[in-house]
Structure formats: structure tokens, C-alpha cells
Structure 1
Amino acid sequence: MTILITLLLSFCVFALIIWGLMHMRTPRFRMDRQDFLQGLEDVIAGQADDNEWRVLIGYPMRHDPLLEQLRLECLDIEESEYTGGSPHLFSEAGLERLRDVRRRLLAAGIEKESK
């Protein structure tokens, strides 16, 4: 009898865990244009470290085609101009290219978020 109760309780606990896992949503990271702009400004000003740069460019931004295009351009800039130094992570040419990305983001408008 004890074994039957133990098995029944174990099954119920296992079923409850499976049910809970099936109904949990995975966390989603969604950067908006204002966050991207702030990250660019921090990198340009020499206030961002390597981890902050990785967060800025590390996640695809399928929700906003402009941000995705700028992110890919930042990856291209990283390939040729990244120094990893302190305080600036990029060469002067890289910083100028990042300033250009920033200008284009501002020209597109921060408040024009894609849906």
C-alpha cells in the first residue's frame, strides 16, 4: 500500500512539473531603438566595456529591420576596427563609423518603433 501511494504521489509531482514546464514562456530580450542608441553613445564615449558591447550587438533584432541592419553594420565595424582597449573599444576610424551609425539611427527617429 505504501509503495502504491509513493508511486501515485511521485507521478502527480512529475506530472505537475511537466505541466509547469510546458506552460512556461522562455524569457525574451528585446532591445528598442532608445536602448541601442544609449549603448552606441556609451561605446563612443568610452564608457562601455566589452560585455556591454556584446549585449548591444549579440542579439538579433528581427522586430526592427533598421536596428538589425545597424547591428550587422556594427558587427562589420567590429571585425575591422575593434581594439578592445581602454577606455575606447575601437580605433578612431571605428569610432567615426559608429558615430555615423548613431547619426543614421537619430535620422530615422527613435520614436518610430516597428511593430
Structure 2
Amino acid sequence: MNLLITVGLTFAVFALVVWGLMHMRTPRFRMERAQFQQGLEDVIAGQADDNEWRVLTGYPMRHDPPLELLRLECLRIEEDEYTGKMPYLFSDEGIRRLREVRERLLSLPKQ
């Protein structure tokens, strides 16, 4: 009888753990337009480091297709104009192009 109770409780605990793992969601990072704008402004002003740039451009923005296009444009600018030196991570031309991206971001219709 003791063996049946132990096996039953073990199975119940195991089933509960498996059920919990199946219903857990993975955390998701979602950057909004205001956060993206602030990040761009920090880079343009020379107040961002390499890590902040990676956070700004490193995650796809599937929830906001126009913002995703701007993120991809930032990655193209990075390929050509990124210096990685502080305080300005980009060349003068890169900063100019990032300002254009910021202006396009500001001109997007509200969500």
C-alpha cells in the first residue's frame, strides 16, 4: 500500500511539473517606438556605449513593421559608418544618417 501511494504521488508531482513547463512562456523583449527614439538620440548625442547600441538594434521588431525597417536601416548604417569609439560610435556621416532615421521615426503615424 505504501508503495502505491509513493508511486502515485511521484507520478502526480512529475505530471504537475511537466504540465507547468508546457504552459510556461518564454520572456519576450519588446521595444516600443519611444524607447527606440531615445536610444537613437543617445547615440546621436554621444551618450550611448556599444552595449546600448546592440540592445537598440539587436532584437527584431516583428510587432511594428515600420520600426523594423528603421532598425534594419540602422544596421546598414552600422556596416558603413560604425567606429565603436567613445563618445561617438559613428562617423560624422553615420551620425547624419542616424538623424535622418530619427526624423523618419518621428514622421511615422501613431500606432
Using the size of structure 1 for normalisation, the TM-score is 0.87
Correspondence 1:10-89 to 2 at 5 A: 10-89=10-89
Which amino acid in structure 1 is aligned with residue 72 of structure 2?
Answer: L
d(CA) in 2 for partners of 1:11, 1:71: 48
Identity %: 73
Unaligned runs of 5+ in 2: none
Unaligned runs of 5+ in 1: none
Of residues 26-35 and 97-106 in structure 1, the stretch that sits farther from structure 2 once superposed is: 26-35
Which amino acid in structure 2 is aligned with residue 74 of structure 1?
Answer: C
d(CA) in 1 for partners of 2:94, 2:76: 10
SS at match of 1:61: coil
- Report the counterpart of residue 100 of structure 1 in structure 2: 100
C-alpha displacement of 1:30: 1.3
SS at match of 1:28: coil
Using the size of structure 2 for normalisation, the TM-score is 0.90
d(CA) in 2 for partners of 1:38, 1:90: 17
d(CA) in 2 for partners of 1:3, 1:85: 67
C-alpha displacement of 1:63: 1.4
C-alpha displacement of 1:6: 3.5
